């Protein structure tokens, strides 16, 4: 198969011939992609010069920032699904200021050190996904989000680009092979238990982070006359809860720009009356952080 120049001409070969050649010559590359599957026909996706393709020749090009768009247009129910670009940029600004660092550090400790494959569903602009790739140097760490603007930001700023891979995709139809993932993380994002169950390995670990009772309680009290406490997440179908904990802390924001970032990234804060918003931006904000961290194991049946 090698031509005179030493390059391979593989585009016309059958899939198993391509795999054999790639495996022999580029073992790291072929391993990198084996967890992903085609969102159209569910066959395995393999690397080629432009991006990824399945054996039915569905092609998904690699964007210049390094991500893949694996969201079929028929699953895209609006022009720009997911969080808006401005919201994601505000989240990046707020997270990079370190306000959620205790959560990041706690999650890093919870991840099993022998994790080979991790998927962060609803990864946003990649703040947590990047951290997971940093602490799991041997793992392939994927991030998917339905918002292209988030995935673009995440892929662009990934440091370990060869094994920290981002894709535009829906949490409700994940472009991953059955039982391909050791760990799934879901931080403030929606999902469907059955789909997480399908893609996680039998002994896989699912970690969900959701706001607990007192999270941003002060801010919520300024907006709602009757504040209802956050409920713990429903146990996803096919999983059993094995551990849960609360992580609490104080949130002190003095900087006007960071105050604005919090208000922009928090949908309920959009309801804040204009005079209260101005007052917060002038005076700063002191509030409570209260995260619920829930760990689940996969059951045999869903
Ligand atoms: C509050 S943000 C959290 C982002 C990230 N996990 C973090 O903590 O920084 C929720 C994210 O879920 C994404 N999202 C919403 N619905 C989704 C879906 N059906 N599939 C994938 N992502 C989705 C949004 O686009 C948004 O980026
Ligand atoms: Zn296909």
Helices in 146-273 by DSSP H: which ranges?
148-156, 193-199, 217-223, 256-265
**Cβ contact 118:184 at 8 Å:** yes
Residue range 10-27: mean pLDDT, rounded = 53
The pLDDT tens digits for 141-166 are 999 999 999 999 999 999 999 999 99
Residue range 48-55: mean pLDDT, rounded = 95
> How far from 231 is each of 218, 291, 297, CA to CA, in Å?
17, 12, 21
> How far from 285 is each of 97, 177, 257, 260, 272, CA to CA, in Å?
15, 45, 12, 10, 14
> How far from 165 is each of 6, 129, 138, 143, 150, CA to CA, in Å?
29, 10, 14, 6, 13
Judgement on whether residues 156 and 269 belong to the same structural domain of the protein: yes
Half-sphere exposure for 226 (CA within 13 Å, toward CB): 0
User: Which of 113-117, 255-259, 278-282, 285-289 is predicted with the least confidence, judged by mean pLDDT?
Assistant: 278-282
The pLDDT tens digits for 232-280 are 999 999 999 999 999 999 999 999 999 999 999 998 888 888 999 999 9
Q: Mapping DSSP to helix (H, G, I), strand (E, B) and coil, where does residue 171 land?
A: coil
- Residues near ion ligand 2 (CB < 5 Å) are 38, 40-41, 43, 54, 56, 58
Residue 231 contacts by C-beta under 8 Å, 6 or more apart in sequence? none
Looking at the CA of residue 265, tell me the nearest atom of ligand 1. Answer: 1
Looking at the CA of residue 91, tell me the nearest atom of ligand 1. Answer: 9
Judgement on whether residues 52 and 84 belong to the same structural domain of the protein: no
Judgement on whether residues 50 and 97 belong to the same structural domain of the protein: no
Residue range 165-174: mean pLDDT, rounded = 98
Cα 124 to ligand 2 centre (Å): 26
pLDDT of amino acid 28: 45
Summary mean pLDDT of the chain: 91
Residue 275 phi/psi, 5-degree rounding, is -65, -35
Judgement on whether residues 45 and 103 belong to the same structural domain of the protein: no
Q: Please report, for the domain that includes residue 186, its CATH number.
A: 3.40.50.150
Strand partners, 208: 186, 294
**Cβ contact 154:113 at 8 Å:** no
The ligand whose atoms approach the alpha carbon of 57 most closely is 2
Residue 237: CB atoms within 10 A of its CB come to: 14
pLDDT of amino acid 7: 38
The pLDDT tens digits for 6-15 are 334 444 455 5
Judgement on whether residues 16 and 154 belong to the same structural domain of the protein: no
Element (H, E) at 104: helix 101-110
**Cβ contact 263:277 at 8 Å:** yes
Residue 293 phi/psi, 5-degree rounding, is -115, 125
Nearest CA to ligand 1 atom 4: 124
Please, which pLDDT band fits residue 34 given cuts at 50, 70 and 90? confident
Structural domain for 49, as ranges = 1-60
The pLDDT tens digits for 118-138 are 999 999 999 999 999 999 999
Judgement on whether residues 148 and 293 belong to the same structural domain of the protein: yes
Residue ranges around ligand 1 (CB below 6 Å): 82-83, 91, 122-124, 127-128, 145-147, 150, 170-172, 187-190
The pLDDT tens digits for 266-278 are 988 888 889 999 9
The CA distance from 70 to 38, in Å, is: 8
Tokens of 85: 């670009």
Q: How many domains are contained in the chain?
A: 2
The CA distance from 208 to 244, in Å, is: 10
Nearest CA to ligand 1 atom 11: 122
Residue range 171-188: mean pLDDT, rounded = 98
């Amino acid at each position: 198969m090698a031509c005179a120049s030493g390059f391979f001409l593989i585009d016309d070969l059958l899939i198993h011939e391509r795999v054999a050649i790639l495996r022999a010559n580029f073992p790291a590359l072929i391993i990198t992609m084996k967890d992903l599957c085609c969102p159209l026909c569910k066959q395995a996706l393999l690397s080629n010069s432009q991006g990824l393709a399945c054996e039915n020749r569905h092609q998904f090009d690699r964007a210049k920032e390094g991500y893949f768009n694996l969201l079929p247009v028929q699953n895209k129910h609006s022009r720009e699904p997911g969080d808006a670009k401005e919201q994601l940029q505000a989240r990046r600004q707020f997270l990079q200021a370190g306000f959620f660092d205790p959560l990041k550090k706690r999650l890093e400790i919870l991840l099993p050190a022998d994790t080979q494959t991790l998927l962060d569903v609803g990864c946003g602009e990649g703040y947590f996904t990047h951290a997971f790739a940093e602490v799991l140097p041997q793992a392939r760490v994927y991030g998917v989000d339905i918002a292209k603007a988030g995935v673009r930001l995440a892929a662009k700023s990934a440091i370990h680009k060869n094994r920290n891979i981002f894709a535009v995709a829906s949490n409700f139809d994940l472009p991953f092979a059955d039982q391909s993932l050791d760990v799934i993380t879901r931080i403030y994002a929606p999902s469907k238990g059955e789909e997480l169950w399908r893609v996680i390995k039998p002994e896989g670990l699912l970690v969900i982070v959701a706001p607990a009772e007192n999270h941003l309680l002060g801010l919520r009290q300024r907006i709602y006359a009757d504040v209802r406490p956050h409920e713990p997440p429903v146990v996803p179908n096919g999983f059993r809860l094995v551990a849960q904990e609360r992580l609490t802390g104080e949130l002190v924001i003095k900087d006007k720009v960071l105050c604005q970032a919090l208000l922009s990234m928090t949908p309920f804060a959009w309801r804040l009356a204009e005079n209260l918003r101005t007052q917060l931006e002038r005076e700063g904000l002191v509030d409570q952080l209260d995260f619920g961290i829930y760990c689940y194991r996969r059951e045999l049946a869903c």
